[in-house]
Amino acid sequence: MAAGRRIAIIGAGPAGVRCAERLAGRADVTLIGAEAELPYNRVALSRLLAGEIAEPALTTHAAADLAALGVHYLPATHATSIDRAGKHVLTDRHGAVGYDTLVLALGAQPVRLGFPGTDLPGVLMYRTLDDVRRMIGVAATGGDAVVIGGGLLGLEAAYGLGRRGMRVTVLHAVDRLMERQLDHDAAAMLLARLAGMRIETVLSAQTETIEGEDRVRAVRLADGRVIPADLVVMAVGIRPQATLARAAGLDVRRGIVVDDALRTSDPDIFAIGECAEHRGQCCGLVAPALAQAEIAARVIAGEAVAYVPRTEAAALKVAGAGVWSAGQIDDATAETIVLDDTEAGEYRKLVLRQDRLIGAMMYGETADAPWYLDLIARALPLGLLRAALPFGPAFATPVASGRSAA
């Protein structure tokens, strides 16, 4: 890489910061962040909301750390446009930031549903540190909270607000919680756990309107039920943040389209993380976003490498219970093996095709996750391992080479 090469990175989330780290010292790196905060661990926001950690514990890079790396960090700065011909990014606070190579690590934006009342004071998204601060502020006076969305983020919000003393109701449009990670049986165990924490859940719920004038007062469902609310948290999904790229004329479908080198339709612009669309897929987990950051940094540095998606797992902690899933867990045509110990709060579902593990799901104890993930990734015939499969590696008998649990 030529000395003095200018690299601008828009987005100070995990992917943007990782890319900046890898390129620092090899180029002139400017990191542009829309939030006023230092880079922080977004995954740990749920622990802050639940009162398990304080704000300083979220910070991943102090200002001095970034400066020592040689990264010029511009917080609270919005990139307003990209001038591809002039090779600069126009910002609202620092004018034009020039680049030789630009990396878009724009992340995703939360989906805001369109029914009446979503613009009332007291209706919050769950995405940023500022969102969590506002939730904590409302929770300090107690009252009723309604969380719309029974996926991971919604249940994290419900758990945290419940821990802070609010009466919480979760509204979920589907007939089971966390339908992307859990089947009906495991979801029923989670539902019972939440009920034990006095978190009410309404499944197959169709929200009609959020009621109030000066602030939120209640949520009305299509079946006529009215649920009191002093706070409404909307956690119904995310979509890739691609507005800036689209305005710049880059190829955008669902996300910013990239090739195997993470290059966009402009060879001097890369996209990584939640905003990028690679081979028709957008990632929503931290691990692939960081992997993309690593590959993009290596390509920018001159290496001939390519991003190859790996079998990724969702490893979560929901209301104190472990949830883990990987591969194809909802294939009705495949064979399944289930271990169900409702009394102990343990559940495993293993999905097989042609004597190979193609998917796995665990609720409760998830310590065996790496073993299952390895079996899915290697796609080797199970053979004698099949009998011990639901009990984990400790019970697996070593068999032919390449098929043991080791």
Please say whether the beta carbons of 127 and 217 come within 8 A.
no
Question: What is the structure's pLDDT at 405?
Answer: 40
Half-sphere exposure of 245 (CA within 13 A, CB side): 33
41-100 pLDDT, tens digit per residue, is 998 999 999 999 999 999 999 999 999 999 999 999 999 999 999 999 999 999 999 999
Give the torsion sign (CA, 61, 81, 104, 19).
negative
Angle between helices 152-163 and 184-196 (to 10 degrees): 10
H or E, element range at 104: strand 101-104
Question: Which has the closest alpha carbon to 14: 44, 42, 53?
Answer: 42
Please say whether the beta carbons of 158 and 142 come within 8 A.
no
Segments of the chain scoring below 70 in pLDDT: 1-3, 397-406
130-154 pLDDT, tens digit per residue, is 999 999 999 999 999 999 999 989 9
Parallel/antiparallel/unpaired status of strands 167-171 and 199-202: parallel
Angle between helices 152-163 and 129-139 (to 10 degrees): 40
Question: Which residue type is seen at 339?
Answer: L
Let me know if 280 is exposed, middle or buried by CB neighbors in 10 A (0-12, 13-18, 19+): exposed
Output the six-digit token pair for 139: 């929770």
Percent of the residues in the chain that have a pLDDT greater than 70, as a whole number = 97
Output the six-digit token pair for 54: 């304080």
**First-to-final CA distance of the chain:** 42
- The Cβ of residue 214 has, within 10 Å, a number of other Cβ atoms equal to 8
Please say whether the beta carbons of 278 and 309 come within 8 A.
yes
Please say whether the beta carbons of 164 and 250 come within 8 A.
no
Which domains are delineated in the chain? Answer: 6-109+238-300 (3.50.50.60), 123-234 (3.50.50.60), 313-395 (3.30.390.30)
State whether residue 234 is helix, strand or coil.
strand
In angstroms, the CA 146 to CA 168 distance is 6
In angstroms, the CA 178 to CA 149 distance is 9
Let me know if 118 is exposed, middle or buried by CB neighbors in 10 A (0-12, 13-18, 19+): middle
φ, ψ of residue 222 to 5 degrees: the values are -65, -25
State whether residue 247 is helix, strand or coil.
helix
In whole angstroms, how far apart are CA 115 and each of 108, 120, 208, 217, 234? 21, 12, 6, 15, 12
> What does DSSP assign to residue 398?
P
In angstroms, the CA 338 to CA 363 distance is 12
Question: Which has the closest alpha carbon to 349: 182, 151, 175, 180?
Answer: 182
State whether residue 242 is helix, strand or coil.
coil
Residue count of the chain: 406
Query: Strand pairing partners for 32?
Result: 10, 74
pTM for this one? 0.90
